[in-house]
């Protein structure tokens, strides 16, 4: 690759910017893709080349990359009240409106909404709330938190401990003590020969119960779960999974936290992933599509039982000693309010109800029998195509071959920005506004890229068993 020109945006980036989720050494050699503008489901780089954004940026640009109503909502609020805080009982209408709208739309009865700035902060906040709650109700030992292997809940210190992905742990000295992980509910890889999906779900629940008993139920406070695991590979749970898991949690009075950061706001075909997967959380976290990611904002919804514990303890202490300068910032809150109005007024759920099943059907029709593809999975407008070296045994490629990353480079060359997840799964989570024609265009480019990758692997004698 040609080194970036001196004083170009790419060269200045290399000189000054430290990137998240990037090989920092390699970045010094190859530099960034500089994105200069966006419209609809597409973005353009600084050279004028356009791309369909097949993952909506980071699962988040639900209304695409241009929406004048959201621009105006931010502009109007900046003129009226550009900043105010929520500390010491201060408030403002955008935060009040947004809290009310979220409580009204919650998948199960919720009592209050607390605001933060990212999914990571929302999950860190919820962890602290769980600890605070158990202190309030006289259970000071009940503090351990259970996540799942391959789960993703963010990268702040506690959220990274809860996350179950090696790259988020290695060399960061996490997980912290008190964070546990149970098995991933991925039937394709973890199901035993002859085991049905429901039997696998029962085994997942049994493993969870064994973990709780081994740790002592009086010390286990909560379990976190994405309705559909996103960054860990777009993993759908097996039939009956959440019903069985929730029965175990109720048995030992362990709170359930639904991480809706990716799944919320119609991504799975319902307003919440919890509705799609029959999850009944005590606490819910959300972000990303809450503002269509036009501005940073996240929320934590708590039920009445949890809220009363927080309220009682804060009264005893004299304050709820947690919050951020930008909790409920009026400008992101106003944009989020407008985003929720757009979802309602444009009936975006009906649109996802049309294009979501179409995308799922086309993913399977086009790629299920491709020699490189082991499993196609997903629901609504979230999906994945997993590449495997052996379709019969479900064996993945050697990570050293970086097959998923190579596929992403090919899709970029063919006009689609994609994302490779652990286990060489290519994710799909396009803006909710995508059309059938744009889905076809996106999948045409991915199909071409898969064929090009298959040719490359044959030339390099990297084994593929169909």
Q: Give pLDDT tens digits for 140-174.
A: 999 999 999 999 999 999 999 999 999 999 999 99
Indicate the pLDDT class of residue 3, thresholds 50, 70 and 90: low
**What is the assigned CATH class of domain 69-345?**
alpha beta
Q: In the predicted model, what is the mean pLDDT of residues 47-59?
A: 98
Assess if CATH 3.90.1150.10 describes domain 33-66+347-459: yes
Residue 351 has pLDDT above 70, yes or no: yes
The pTM of this model reads: 0.96
With tokens 């890229």, the residue in question is 449
Dihedral (CA of 291, 292, 295, 297) sign: positive
Q: Which of 166, 208, 154 is nearest to 183 (CA)?
A: 208
Residue 6 has pLDDT above 90, yes or no: no
Q: Using CA atoms, how far apart are residues 292 and 57, in angstroms rounded to an integer?
A: 10
- Say what the pLDDT of residue 50 is: 98
Q: In the predicted model, what is the mean pLDDT of residues 390-405?
A: 95
Residue 224 near residue 151 (C-beta atoms within 8 A): yes
- Mean of per-residue pLDDT scores for the chain: 97
Residue ranges, CATH 3.90.1150.10, the chain: 33-66+347-459
Q: 5-13, long-range: CB within 8 Å, 24+ apart, which pairs?
A: 9/34, 9/46, 10/34, 10/46
- Say what the pLDDT of residue 379 is: 98
Q: In the predicted model, what is the mean pLDDT of residues 186-203?
A: 97
- What is the percentage of the chain residues whose pLDDT exceeds 90? 97
Residue ranges, CATH 3.40.640.10, the chain: 69-345
- Say what the pLDDT of residue 2 is: 60
Q: Which of 38, 36, 34, 35 is nearest to 433 (CA)?
A: 38
């Amino acid at each position: 690759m040609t080194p970036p020109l001196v004083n170009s945006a790419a060269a200045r980036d290399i000189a000054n910017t430290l990137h998240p989720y990037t090989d920092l050494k390699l970045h010094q050699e190859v530099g960034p893709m500089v994105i200069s503008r966006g419209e609809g489901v597409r973005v353009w780089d600084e050279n004028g080349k356009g791309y369909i954004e097949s993952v909506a940026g980071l699962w988040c640009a639900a209304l695409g990359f241009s929406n004048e109503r959201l621009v105006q909502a931010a502009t109007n609020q900046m003129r009226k009240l550009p900043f105010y805080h929520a500390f010491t009982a201060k408030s403002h209408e955008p935060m009040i409106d947004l809290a009310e709208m979220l409580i009204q739309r919650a998948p199960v009865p919720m009592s209050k909404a607390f605001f933060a700035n990212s999914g990571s902060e929302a999950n860190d906040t919820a962890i602290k709330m769980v600890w605070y709650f158990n202190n309030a109700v006289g259970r000071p030992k009940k503090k351990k938190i259970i996540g799942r292997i391959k789960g993703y809940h963010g990268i702040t210190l506690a959220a990274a401990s809860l996350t179950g992905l090696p790259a988020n742990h290695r060399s960061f000295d996490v997980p912290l003590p008190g964070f546990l992980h149970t098995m991933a509910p991925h039937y394709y890889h973890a199901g035993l020969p002859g085991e049905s999906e429901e039997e696998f779900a029962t085994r997942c629940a049994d493993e969870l119960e064994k973990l709780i008993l081994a740790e002592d139920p009086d010390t286990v406070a909560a379990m976190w779960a994405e309705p559909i695991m996103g960054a860990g590979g777009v993993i759908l749970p097996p039939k009956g999974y959440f019903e069985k898991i929730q029965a175990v949690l109720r048995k030992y009075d362990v709170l359930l936290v639904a991480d809706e950061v990716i799944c919320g706001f119609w991504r799975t075909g319902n307003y919440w992933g919890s509705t799609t997967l029959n999850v009944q959380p005590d606490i819910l976290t959300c972000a990303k599509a809450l503002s269509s990611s036009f501005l940073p904002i996240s929320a934590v919804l708590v039920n009445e039982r949890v809220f009363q514990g927080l309220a009682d303890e804060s009264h005893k202490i004299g304050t709820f000693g947690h919050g951020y300068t930008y909790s409920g910032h009026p400008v992101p809150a106003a944009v989020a309010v407008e985003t929720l109005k757009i979802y309602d007024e444009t009936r975006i759920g009906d649109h996802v109800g049309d294009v979501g099943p179409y995308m799922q059907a086309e993913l399977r029709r086009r790629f299920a029998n491709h020699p490189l593809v082991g499993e196609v999975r997903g629901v609504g407008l979230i999906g994945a195509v997993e590449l495997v070296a052996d379709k019969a045994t479900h064996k993945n490629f050697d990570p050293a071959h970086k097959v998923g990353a190579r596929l992403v480079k090919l899709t970029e060359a063919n006009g689609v920005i994609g994302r490779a997840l652990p286990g060489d799964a290519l994710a799909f989570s396009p803006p909710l506004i995508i059309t059938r024609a744009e889905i076809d265009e996106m999948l045409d480019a991915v199909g071409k890229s898969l064929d090009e990758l298959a040719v490359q692997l044959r030339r390099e004698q990297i084994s593929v068993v169909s």
